[in-house]
Amino acid sequence: MKFAIMVSEGPYTHQATDSAYQFAKAAIAKGHEVTRVFFYHDGVNNGTRLTVPPQDDRNIVNRWSEIATQNNIDLVICIAAAQRRGLLDENEAKRQGKDANNIAPGFRISGLGQLVEAGIQSDRLVVFGD
């Protein structure tokens, strides 16, 4: 079965991110495919490379990057939600006249069309968060 996932909560403020990650990991372990994870609203904060959790805590951003690399999962951050929260990739930073970017490896910025496409191309779209 093909799954797409949407995460709409931040990495350290709500259980939704951890639940989404564990769901993806379990689905893959059972032989299913996770094609795309779309980060929306505060969920875009899962994609910042500037997160520095304490050493004894989980690094949620790194977890997403690793699972995506190992399993060819497309990690998409909503562009409108990202811009509102100060997340920019290299191209968008340049376009907006900013001197830095902060998107973690494995993530990319795109629009809501990617969420719609994921819903169409997958057997199930599973939503985590409000």
pLDDT digits (tens, 9 = 90+) for 28-87: 999 999 999 999 999 999 999 999 999 999 999 999 999 999 999 999 999 999 999 999
Share of the chain above pLDDT 70, in %: 100
Cβ within 8 Å of residue 57, ≥6 positions away: none
For 83-101, the DSSP string reads HHTT---HHHHHHTT-S--
Residue tagged active-site, from 27, 75, 78, 87: 78
CA distance 111 to 56: 35
Name the DSSP class of 57: S
Please enumerate in sequence order all residues whose Cβ is within 8 A of that of 124, keeping only pairs 6 or more positions apart, or say none.
1, 2, 3, 4
Contact between residue 27 and residue 19 where contact means Cβ atoms under 8 Å apart: no
Is residue 78 flagged as an active site residue? yes
Q: Which CATH number is correct for 2-128, 3.40.50.300, 3.10.110.10, 3.40.190.170, 3.40.1260.10?
A: 3.40.1260.10
- Measuring CA to CA, how many Å separate 97 from each of 66, 90, 93? 30, 11, 6
What is the tens place of the pLDDT at every residue in 79-128?
A: 999 999 999 999 999 999 999 999 999 999 999 999 999 999 999 999 99
Q: Give the residue extent of every domain in the chain.
A: 2-128
pTM (predicted TM-score)? 0.95
What pLDDT is stored for residue 130 in this prediction? 84
